[in-house]
Structure 1
Amino acid sequence: MFDNIRGCIHLPPTSQFVLCRGDALLKSCEDITAQYLLTSPLPPPLQFLPWFSKASSRNPDSQRWSWHTESSSNGANLSLTSSGKQVNQSWQDVQCIACFCQDDSTAYRDGLLTLCTHANKVFIHQPLRMYLYGLYIYKCQLEAWIFDRSGIWVCQAFNIQDNPQRFLAMILSYRSMSDADLGLSSVVKRDDNGSFVTFNDTVTPGLQKLYLEDKTIALSDDLVGQGTTCYRARSSGRDQWDYVIKVKWRPADRRPEEEILNLAMQKKAWGIVTANLRQGLHFGPYYELAPLHNETDTPPRVANSGEEPNISKLVTPTKTPFQNRIFTCVVTSPIGRPLQFFATRLELLLALRDAVRAHRSLFQDAKVLHQDISVWNILISHPQRPGDPHGILIDLDVAINVAEGGLRKLGGAIGTRPFMAIGVLLRRIHTYRHDLESFLYVLLWVVVVRQKDYPPVGSRLREWNQGSLADSARLKTSDMAEDSFGNVLAEFEPEFESLKGLAERLRGLLFPRESGELWTGTVGSGAGINRLYDAFIDTF
């Protein structure tokens, strides 16, 4: 969690406290809390929880949401739900979160990371949520936070003992907020048949209303980032799941995936999934939360200062430019099965072969370079007609239009790390040959790792994913050498013995010897490109 959020923090833009949305509601709640506080004043931190439980439950019948309190070792975790269910039983019901630390036996930073961890659980169980409110109460200091895919934003802190009316008004105002004000998505709606998304598509009427399967088929576990989530979907009136709906928060400065998909369709690229809804948000500049070297470290600006810790004392500005993200929903078809779940070796080989053919068509026909070949971006398809592909490529998030001079300059490393080519790890310009090298790593991964999340301990593939990118490049260069590749093949289970020859031939095509050295370069001539593609596909 620390690594995910550390450099994605937004400090208050002004010295004035801002609730962001619902300011009018906050003001109206302030007007009704003064009388309550006359008879039940806010107590010191050690007596806070009983007071909070009583104060936050006033007029339950007139409020949409209710606060639930779950004690922790040094305070409590609080959650706003529609049903009052235990937070650890139903994160799907949580609409707002809070973390209370009653004294400094819990470090400020640790309490904040607990709040962020709970926010992440909410987003995992509600992946289409736009944003989430969070309150961090450290002794008497309150910080109001907003979490979204661009980062985490803190509003100005204040002392709840000095301003109990504002604090109680905040607590009550959240209970009356609308779905939209609490950050729930209006993109997905429900009726008697389930959850659905609507599109203004006059060209394809069948795509105007698509129902989502309850369970996701792909889900990001990061709080800050693209938050990519995929659902199977069907048209209204059909039982067959014919589509995949992919939602994500893409960087605003990145070319939309749907544009690359449309280009591929216009150029009649073969073996690529085929079509858009988009809405957007953005927030302010980034700060970084510095790591502590050990559990007893105290940040220098807090030590001996006599001041209560808060986020502004623990962060430093970064040079990383703010990355606005745009909520995007893309519908694709045909639907497929993850490559790792192949039924037979033949099905695996046909899927990989046709994925290579799809890559070739994408590159040579549409002039688009995929740049992220991985086990998760190849699906096993179900051909309906002769000539249909057995395997398809998906996810054109980082694909580039080569015809527009889209080759990235030196210095970038694009792709999914376990499958990155040696040249990409060394930050060379990404080429078609690097993607073909990634196909070899996909074959090795599927055979060695199968349906697990990670290679076994001691596996060469596991070591490729550790250390720096340069370390990975060095290890892969060593393992791809003719006299070392056998160590990788030794990890094949007996049932895949017959695939060792295929892996060895693909390795030989990609890494010929030149002047006694392993060659990892790219042939750029048209004839050379065709020769490598032909040989690669024929080998399968």
Structure 2
Amino acid sequence: MASSPLSVSGHEYVSHPISSLSGSHTSVSTPPATVHDSVDSAPLPAVRLLQTSTPCKRKAVSIPLSLELDRGHTGSAKRHHCSAKHVAPLIASELVQATHCSATFPEDFLLRDSWDLHVPEADFLLAAITRSLPPADGVRYHRDTGQYTCRPPAYTNAIYPEWFCRLANAIHNANNPTLAAVHSTWKCTKDTAPTGARNGELRPDFILSVDDDATRSSTTPTWDSILVVGEHQSKGSQPFTQLARYAEQVFIAQPFRTAVLGIITSCSGPQLRFWRFDRAGAIGSMEFDYQSTSRQLRTIVRCLYAIPLLPPEGAGFHVSSIFTNHLPPENRFPLNDSRPWKMRMSPSTLYEGEALMNRLLFIAPGIVTRGTRVWRGTLGGTSVAIKYSWRSSTRPPEESLYQLAASHNVIGLATLVAYDTYEDIATNVRFDHALVSSPLVDRHIKSHNRHLTRIILTPAGRAISGENLSPLQVAQGLFAGLVGHASLYFDGGILHRDVSPHNIIYTNKPQVAVHQWILGRTREADVVGGTMMHLHGALIDLDYAIELGSTEGRTSTAADRTGTYPFIAMAVLSNGETHRYRHDLESFLYVLLWVCCYPVTPDPNPEKRDSMDNIWPRSHPLKTWIFEDEETVIAHKGMYIVNKEEVFEGLLGRFRAGFEGFKAVARRWRRTLWGIEGWGLCVIMPEGEGDMGGEGTDRIESASGGKRDWLLRDEVRVGVANREAFGEARDALRELVEALAPGEGELQN
């Protein structure tokens, strides 16, 4: 198959043409339906053509995993189709400029000399499998030519996957004196979806699965037992996209995976291709023809023999930060999150005692993403949060931003306990493969390289989107997050750029905070240095944060979005403006709306409808912000949050029971962001040229004497500087906290 040049970050490189494999193309969704009779039903405004390149490239991680899980559990083919319709194009989009083929794939990833796998000669293996397989399976030796041939009984989906598993298992068992890293078996799964809480009803055609006591006792494998996924091409199918979806599920189910191996087989002949997915994309082998040993049958047989013998780094597992000596002998890989994992700590850690990861709290879906995992754990008896993520090498380390914030006495921010960096993709996951393939590919890999990092923070808490939090706890956590964000910006000179429900936590144990002005008026006493308050929460996650005025902040080429898709400000989502404080404040409004709407309470009267059902569906009010493209999301927010107050009120009518008090905060925040003084209207204004001339300057007259219709870079709305706008938002939320906890102090001890 021919290669095609693709432009990536200003470079060209030879890439495998994904579109020809997946058959998928990014499409523009139609705008959501307009409201019914009682509301003006003007069409959505036209939006200029958007740039879809980084840093705002939409990814599969923009669809929250919890919502994806809800779809997978229904067992409904229609709902599964809906899920695949939204997720599959995003997975394909992630990979379209991050995929290439390698002529040396077997030597680089399956038959590396350094692994010392003792793979026998192919003719020895072929002789063994001709003795173990029946003649009907089509592996034969021809004395007249001295060649082996391999002809499956058929290439149909009904027959081929079962045949492939028989062949692969025969190769695996062919006089194998080498102990495999795990006991594993090739299994046909085309008729049975692997089980697990995150499976999405997907069904690989065949898999290599760990064969321990648990899986042997069950006829159905689980996603957290899968080592290799396989897809047999069907006519009209998109095999690469399907294979990538399986790889994503393995990444989701197995928190310590660094790479996932996949195989695509052809429905029209003896062709096979290997693929290896990691957090920077996918590398594929050239297409192998296994019809006879005069072609590539020898290579295929040796590769299939080697795969079950691969060491952890070859199979795609991270093990350097955890202890694995307690694992059973038949399974030496860290496959799942079913046990507390003991962490290896660097000598510089101040805490002493056992370090454990006890419970996995958060998983980010997608492939070419940070792949974030968050655990609740203990370190020397202290409760901590442990985050693993694949940091882009072009971004400053998160550790440095936490240290900078601490040096400026930032309040309302989680405290850094430990930080470690482990393998990177170019060197440790791809084994410097790019350095011997192509200078153009090399440049691409270096610009998209990622490092696996572990950061440990305290206090540990619960995301404010947690369904078991009370309205008071949500309000307290949100207040702490808003204060922490302001202190990070005004005190630390750092802009967060990823305000989302998962990045604001509620903590049962309050943290004492003292500040000169950010806390505002409180019920608690003034102390030396300012006002004291007990904060039940904190802001976390500085992966996308930037130091204001830094070189990294101005010129970062990292291939990531700056934000979590449903909560990204409109001007940032359109790539129209540099990310400012006002954009994060806008994200806080979207977070408030989200936590007030979700989880949705089952409707006792599902047949009842109102004029807002087509805009804010009762079962999923903000689904447009998740599933639709950038143009539609921007238009939806612009019209229904900013321009049409009556429609915004319709969304407030979807708030959960107990969250009615948040409506007043939402209204006040909307006016803080877009209100026009004296007009009673909200209008989106773009950023223009000029400076505020200092915080608080109320200069809104243009040179011509008219009202200025553009924003200065340090304004939230015309004439209202960042600090003043924060004060408005803070006071509205503090009044809610006080109303929810009357007479009990600002934030209880």
Same fold (TM > 0.5): yes
**1:254 equivalent among 395, 417, 437:** 395
1:437 CA drift (Å): 1.9
1:398 CA drift (Å): 0.9
Confirm or deny that 1:28 pairs with 2:119.
Answer: yes
Confirm or deny that 1:535 pairs with 2:728.
Answer: yes
Deviations 1:422-452 (A, max 9, x none): 3323421221122122212211111122368
Counterparts in 2 of 1:21 and 1:87: CA distance versus 1, 3 Å: farther
1:172-321 to 2 correspondences below 5 Å: 172-186=305-319, 187-190=321-324, 194-206=340-352, 210-213=355-358, 215-235=359-379, 238=381, 242-275=383-416, 276-279=419-422, 280-282=424-426
Do the aligned partners of 1:80 and 1:95 also contact (CA within 8 Å) in 2?
Answer: yes
Do the aligned partners of 1:448 and 1:491 also contact (CA within 8 Å) in 2?
Answer: yes
Confirm or deny that 1:69 pairs with 2:187.
Answer: yes
Deviations 1:331-375 (A, max 9, x none): 111111120236332222222222111111100111000111111
Confirm or deny that 1:124 pairs with 2:272.
Answer: no
Deviations 1:515-537 (A, max 9, x none): 95634457954233332222221
Counterpart residue identity of residue 33, structure 1? L
Q: Distance in 2 between matches of 1:160 and 1:410?
A: 46
Counterpart residue identity of residue 387, structure 2? K
**1:334 equivalent among 439, 442, 459:** 459
Deviations 1:139-158 (A, max 9, x none): 41121221111111112222
Confirm or deny that 1:158 pairs with 2:288.
Answer: yes
- Which residue of structure 2 aligns with residue 4 of structure 1? 91
**1:477 equivalent among 638, 644, 669:** 638
- TM score, norm. by length of structure 2: 0.60
Confirm or deny that 1:503 pairs with 2:666.
Answer: yes
Q: Distance in 2 between matches of 1:52 and 1:345?
A: 56
Do the aligned partners of 1:196 and 1:210 also contact (CA within 8 Å) in 2?
Answer: yes
Q: Distance in 1 between matches of 2:105 and 2:556?
A: 44
1:17 CA drift (Å): 5.1
**1:44 equivalent among 129, 148, 151:** 151
Aligned to 1:144, the other structure's residue is in SS state strand
1:405 CA drift (Å): 6.1
Do the aligned partners of 1:18 and 1:156 also contact (CA within 8 Å) in 2?
Answer: no
Do the aligned partners of 1:80 and 1:175 also contact (CA within 8 Å) in 2?
Answer: no
1:465 CA drift (Å): 4.5
Unaligned runs of 5+ in 2: 1-87, 132-138, 141-148, 155-162, 192-202, 327-338, 435-440, 513-532, 602-614, 697-720, 734-749
Counterpart residue identity of residue 58, structure 1? A
Bigger CA drift: 326-335 or 47-56? Answer: 47-56
**2:695 equivalent among 497, 514, 526:** 526
Q: Distance in 2 between matches of 1:46 and 1:372?
A: 54
Q: Distance in 2 between matches of 1:75 and 1:140?
A: 19
Do the aligned partners of 1:81 and 1:96 also contact (CA within 8 Å) in 2?
Answer: no
1:486 CA drift (Å): 2.2
Confirm or deny that 1:168 pairs with 2:297.
Answer: no
Counterparts in 2 of 1:459 and 1:356: CA distance versus 1, 3 Å: same
Q: Distance in 1 between matches of 2:170 and 2:400?
A: 54
1:425-464 to 2 correspondences below 5 Å: 425-426=573-574, 427-450=576-599, 456=617, 461-464=622-625
Counterpart residue identity of residue 78, structure 1? I
1:46 CA drift (Å): 1.9
Do the aligned partners of 1:26 and 1:169 also contact (CA within 8 Å) in 2?
Answer: no
Counterpart residue identity of residue 376, structure 2? R
Counterpart residue identity of residue 373, structure 2? T
Deviations 1:410-432 (A, max 9, x none): 99973223222233234212211
Bigger CA drift: 431-440 or 506-515? Answer: 506-515
Counterpart residue identity of residue 348, structure 1? V
Bigger CA drift: 439-448 or 115-124? Answer: 115-124
Counterparts in 2 of 1:76 and 1:199: CA distance versus 1, 3 Å: same
1:51 CA drift (Å): 4.2
Counterpart residue identity of residue 447, structure 1? C
Do the aligned partners of 2:499 and 2:588 also contact (CA within 8 Å) in 1?
Answer: yes
Counterpart residue identity of residue 23, structure 1? R
1:203 CA drift (Å): 4.8
Q: Distance in 1 between matches of 2:250 and 2:727?
A: 48
Counterparts in 2 of 1:441 and 1:409: CA distance versus 1, 3 Å: farther
Counterparts in 2 of 1:27 and 1:203: CA distance versus 1, 3 Å: closer
Counterpart residue identity of residue 120, structure 1? E
- Which residue of structure 1 aligns with residue 499 of structure 2? 373
Deviations 1:125-179 (A, max 9, x none): 2121122222323241121221111111112222112233332222222232222
Counterparts in 2 of 1:43 and 1:251: CA distance versus 1, 3 Å: same
Aligned to 1:166, the other structure's residue is in SS state helix
Do the aligned partners of 1:351 and 1:380 also contact (CA within 8 Å) in 2?
Answer: yes
Deviations 1:46-68 (A, max 9, x none): 26444444343334785423322
Q: Distance in 2 between matches of 1:418 and 1:16?
A: 38
Deviations 1:225-258 (A, max 9, x none): 211111111125x4x6x11111111211122222
Counterparts in 2 of 1:22 and 1:274: CA distance versus 1, 3 Å: farther
- Which residue of structure 1 aligns with residue 263 of structure 2? 135
1:83-98 to 2 correspondences below 5 Å: 83=212, 85=216, 88-98=220-230
Bigger CA drift: 344-353 or 39-48? Answer: 39-48
Give the alignment's Cα RMSD to 1 decimal: 3.6
Aligned to 1:497, the other structure's residue is in SS state coil
Q: Distance in 1 between matches of 2:364 and 2:204?
A: 30
Task: Tell me which stretches of 4 or more aligned residues in structure 1 moved more than 6 Å.
Answer: 409-413
Aligned to 2:406, the other structure's residue is in SS state helix
Q: Distance in 2 between matches of 1:130 and 1:360?
A: 36
Bigger CA drift: 476-485 or 371-380? Answer: 476-485
- TM score, norm. by length of structure 1: 0.81
Do the aligned partners of 1:447 and 1:496 also contact (CA within 8 Å) in 2?
Answer: yes
- Which residue of structure 2 aligns with residue 308 of structure 1? none
Bigger CA drift: 249-258 or 83-92? Answer: 83-92
Unaligned runs of 5+ in 1: 286-316
Number of aligned residues: 499
Counterpart residue identity of residue 420, structure 1? I
- Which residue of structure 2 aligns with residue 400 of structure 1? 546
**1:416 equivalent among 564, 567, 581:** 564
Confirm or deny that 1:346 pairs with 2:539.
Answer: no
Do the aligned partners of 1:26 and 1:170 also contact (CA within 8 Å) in 2?
Answer: no
1:493 CA drift (Å): 4.3
- Which residue of structure 2 aligns with residue 298 of structure 1? none
- Which residue of structure 1 aligns with residue 699 of structure 2? none
Q: Distance in 2 between matches of 1:365 and 1:329?
A: 26
Q: Distance in 2 between matches of 1:476 and 1:159?
A: 52
Q: Distance in 2 between matches of 1:77 and 1:16?
A: 21
Counterpart residue identity of residue 190, structure 2? S
Counterparts in 2 of 1:26 and 1:494: CA distance versus 1, 3 Å: closer
Q: Distance in 1 between matches of 2:118 and 2:618?
A: 58
